[in-house]
Amino acid sequence: MSAPTIAEPRQPLPLSELPGTLGRARLEQFILGLFIVVPLLAVAAAAPVMWGWGLGWHDVVIGVVMYAISGHGITVGFHRYFTHGSFKARRWVRIALAVAGSLAIEGPVIRWVADHRRHHAFSDRDGDPHSPWRYGDDVKALTKGLWHAHIGWLFDIEQTNQQRFAPDLLADPDIVKVDRAFLRLTGVTLLLPPLVGFLWSGFTWQGALTAFFWGSLVRVAMLHHTTWSINSICHTIGERPFKSRDKSGNVWWLAIISMGESWHNLHHADPTAARHGVLRGQLDSSARIIWVMEKLRMVREVRWPSRERLATKLVRTS
Ligand SMILES: [Zn+2]
Ligand SMILES: [Zn+2]
């Protein structure tokens, strides 16, 4: 008599995987490095350029508008909508949000969402792709951890398993298309400001050049560091008025530039809420935009935080 066969228990999908070959993964890391370093050098060069001939109000307008479009594409689109499902959107709005977020050059939408869902599933514990507490909590370990949470994690060769963390987006042909168009959209977001600068300045090359510097390079660098600050700074310091399982904090001085995302303690306490700045005086431009889109019937079923629900999560009000 043969021994009864025992069915293998189904293994859960791994947390991360190596996409393509090792060589390809390394090439991706190299290109990513360029996109981080070049805008940073641009910022370093910004001050002397600014005091000379190279900054006009055209550049400021182009830079701020591009920052607002690509930034809210990340906060409203990639984060509150695609990652957390804080509201439902019409098809064209869904596609527009995916495109707008791609203009921030923070990676293709499906990868961004998979990483961020994994962050919430394991926040500040083993498996979190970017916790500043990864190496321990003494000064040396935390310094290393802050670097890892801010930029270092992007260079992990292994990537979050998209099949496990974003199967809904992989099943959506519209979103897959936008995801695959990432490099082309990177071209658009870098070339649009100089094109507008060229036309607006009356077809001058200087208009194109300064708009490229401020509206493309400086804008992308600022947005990158703001987003990464949520992962590093907002998981290290800040007020923690709400109950959450991790070390997420509210950092008020990042509120405007992060478009409301630095109210990160509330976000971890209530991840699907469409508003993160829920307490008095907490500016949250992303929530305001969702509110306007709701009024215009572009989105529906918005998960606004209710007073009762917040009261159950509040630890202290100071
Ligand atoms: Zn977080
Ligand atoms: Zn989140």
Distance CA 31, CA 27 (A): 6
Q: What secondary structure letter does DSSP report for 152?
A: G
Residue with the two structure tokens 């607002």: 68
Domain range enclosing 226 = 28-242
How far is ligand 1, taken at its centre, from the CA of residue 76, in Å? 15
191 alpha carbon – ligand 1 mean position (Å):
32
CA of 116 to the centre of ligand 2 (A): 6
| Residue 137 or 252, more confident | 252
How many Å lie between the centroid of ligand 2 and the Cα of residue 79? 6
The pLDDT, as a whole number, for residue 116 is 96
Q: Is residue 278 part of a domain?
A: no
pLDDT in tens, 161-182: 999 999 999 999 999 999 999 9
Instruction: Tell me, yes or no, whether 4 lies in a domain.
Output: no
**C-alpha count within 13 angstroms, C-beta hemisphere, residue 317:** 6
Cβ contacts of residue 246 below 8 Å, gap of 6+? 123, 124, 125, 131, 235, 268
How many structural domains is the chain composed of? 1
Distance 276 CA to ligand 2 centre (A): 10
Residue corresponding to tokens 């949470």: 149
Ligand 2 center from residue 231 Cα (angstroms) = 10
Mean pLDDT of 251-270: 96
- Residue 310 within any structural domain of the chain: no
Domain-embedded: residue 255: no
| Token digits of residue 305 | 């935080």
Structure-model confidence comparison of residues 81 and 154, the more confident one: 81
Beta bridge partners of 89: 299
| 274 inside domain | no
Q: How far is the CA of 87 from the centre of ligand 2 (A)?
A: 14
**The pair of three-digit structure tokens given for residue 223, joined into one six-digit string:** 């947005």
pLDDT in tens, 103-117: 999 999 999 999 999
Give me the phi and psi of 97, to 5 degrees please. -65, -40
Angle at CA of residue 119, ends 113 and 122, nearest 5°: 140
Residue 298 covered by a domain:
no
Residue with tokens 């916790």: 131
CA 214 – CA 115 distance, rounded (Å): 29
Using DSSP, state whether 160 is helix, strand or coil. strand
**300 inside domain:** no
Closest ligand to the CA of 116: 2
CA dihedral (266, 272, 276, 279) positive or negative: negative
**Ligand 1 mean position, distance from CA 120 (Å):** 7
Q: To the nearest whole number, what is the mean pLDDT of the chain? A: 91
pLDDT higher than threshold 80 for residue 49: no
Q: Are 74 and 107 in contact (CB under 8 A)?
A: no
| Mean pLDDT for the stretch of residues 249-265 | 96
Specify if 199 maps to a domain: yes
Q: The tokens 């007073």 sit on which residue?
A: 307
Token pair of 104, please? 């921030």
d(CA 160, CA 219): 27
**Whether pLDDT at 1 is above 50:** no
**Span from the CA of 55 to the centroid of ligand 2 (angstroms):** 35
pLDDT of residue 260: 97
